[in-house]
Amino acid sequence: MAAENPNILTKNYGVSESWKIENYERQGGYQSLRKALEMGPEKIRDEVKAANIRGRGGAGFPAGVKWSFLKPNPEKPTYIAVNADEGEPGTFKDRTLMEKDPHRCIEGFIIAAYALDVHTVFCYVRGELVLAIRRLEQAVREARAKGYLGETVLGRPFKLDIVIHPGAGAYICGEETSLLNSLEGLRGEPRLKPPFPAVVGAFGAPTIVNNLETLATVPSVIEFGGDSFSKMSRLHHLKDGGVRLYGVSGHVKRPGVYEAPVGITLNELIFDYAGGVRGDRKIKAIVPGGSSTPIVRPEDKVSAADEKHILHPWHGKSHLDVPMGVDTMRALGTMLGTCCAIVMDDTTSMVRVAENLMLFYAHESCGQCTPCREGCSWMARLCRKFAAGTATMNDLEVLNDVANNIMGNTICALGDGAAMPMLGILKLFRHEFEAAVREGRAPKEIAA
């Protein structure tokens, strides 16, 4: 099947100097803002709700519903904090929006701010993404000069500032409460919830935290209408609407970011979009949506005989033939996450994969909660032992135990995000760990 490209979110990616405002406007940019201002805040919120945008950052919470949780506090302003701290291993989609179409992001922020009566938007961008930061700052300056933000928005008495705030290298700051602490100038340690950010967020004020792609989608929702936008998805009936960016990396012929309707399958993503596996080798495993999501394998079949089961239509088919949606992937025992897959061919050592990932989490744990701080380092040390061939069979049990004792015992989801892929790899590829013990060595390289 040919890869279907809706060409909505990425329509400007091929335009020469697409990041400049005159080129964005030539492509119809900022027309959605004009339309939105005519519609008024309530209608905008209705359209966003009808669009069924499941948050594009990883958790997949419906954006329109999140907006409705906002509790304005008469003594405080209300803020939007844009999460552009893209750092989940395997994920590289938001960066393309910021670098290639920053004005789409800014237009989305302005519409969201108008809809939620917000006068300051903070866009928290990874400090490493220097080009993205420069392009967004330039876009803010250009939009201000055009009167799209500032003292008024297109002449309306609505004051708006957008501040591009750089991070400084911490994966944890993609967690929303950690992001807020970091924005306030603190160490990026997550907060206990409740209170949720929509009630007490940045600087003690009600705050909506949305992923960057989520907000960059809003101009298209206004352009097409919420319901029409939602129906572009193959999973509209599951309230998982629209089109979104997919990433694919690892052992494929054409890695990259692709736009597609919500609900294409992993097989489509890998073969129709990314051209298949390098050297036409077999797929061993796939990390479906960022490193925290448990791996899937092509040989595993969907077991959903019950007609009421959400996965029943794919009963007996490969996991790679299930449409990628927030609820479908969860039903499969993994997560859609950031919708950016890492593909590993049959030359890959899963012991080495586990070692790589656990070193990541050991480095990125913020250190606040003991199970995560100690557990992630412990898992990394154990994986190193397996990779070095010095592990024992007992270490396999310890590894399993440590992972299980992190799950659910920490303030934020980083610990779970480390334990879940570890447990997933142990469940599906235990034999590789056992072989490393038996043979006293693991493959030297992660893959051929």
Partner 1 sequence: MAFELTPERLAIFQDLLPRYPTKRALTIPLLHLCQEQEGWVSPEVVEFVAKRLEISTADVQGVVTFYTLFQQKKTGRNVIWVCRTLSCELMGARGITHALEKKLGCHVGETTKDGEFTLLEAECLAACGQAPMLQLNDEYHENLTPEQLDGLLEGARRKRDERVKAGFSPVSIRSRKES
Using CB under 8 A, list all residues that contact partner 1.
Answer: 77, 86-92, 94-95, 120, 126-131, 133-134, 137-138, 161, 163, 165-171, 182-188, 203, 205, 247-251, 255-257, 287, 291, 340, 342, 344, 348, 352-353, 356-357, 359-360, 363-364, 366, 445-447
Nearer to partner 1, 302 or 344 (CB): 344
Please say which residue, 120 or 328, places its beta carbon nearer to partner 1. 120
**Residue placing its CB nearer to partner 1 in the complex, 50 or 248:** 248
**With the C-alpha atoms ordered 226, 232, 236, 241, is the resulting torsion angle positive or negative?**
negative
Q: Given the complex with partner 1, which of 140 and 235 has the nearer CB atom?
A: 140
Minimum distance from residue 304 beta carbon to partner 1 (Å): 30
Provide the minimum distance between the beta carbon of 278 and partner 1 in the complex, in angstroms, as a whole number.
9
Query: Partners of 208 in the beta sheet?
Result: 80
* Distance (Å, whole) CA 69 – CA 65: 7
CA distances from 124 to 51, 163, 174 (A): 25, 8, 9
Question: By CB neighbour count within 10 A (0-12 exposed, 13-18 middle, 19+ buried), where does 282 fall?
Answer: exposed
Distance in Å, CB of 239 to partner 1, minimum: 29
DSSP string, 175-222: SHHHHHHHHTTS--PPPPSSSPTTTS-GGGS-EEEEEHHHHHHHHHHH
Which positions ≥6 away from 359 have C-beta within 8 Å? Answer: 380, 383, 384
363: left (phi over 0), alpha (psi -120 to 50) or beta: alpha
Choice between 147 and 169, CB closer to partner 1: 169
Report which of 51, 87, 117, 361 is spatially closest to residue 212, judged by C-alpha positions.
87
Q: Give least dist CB 87 to partner 1, A.
A: 6
Of 52 and 177, nearer to partner 1 (C-beta) is 177
Q: How far apart are CA 240 and CA 325, in angstroms?
A: 7
Q: Say if residue 194 is preceded by a cis peptide, omega within 30 of 0.
A: yes
Closest contact distance (angstroms) between CB of 275 and partner 1 is 12
Q: Which is nearer to partner 1, 33 or 205 (CB)?
A: 205
Compute the least distance from the CB of residue 236 to partner 1, in Å. 28
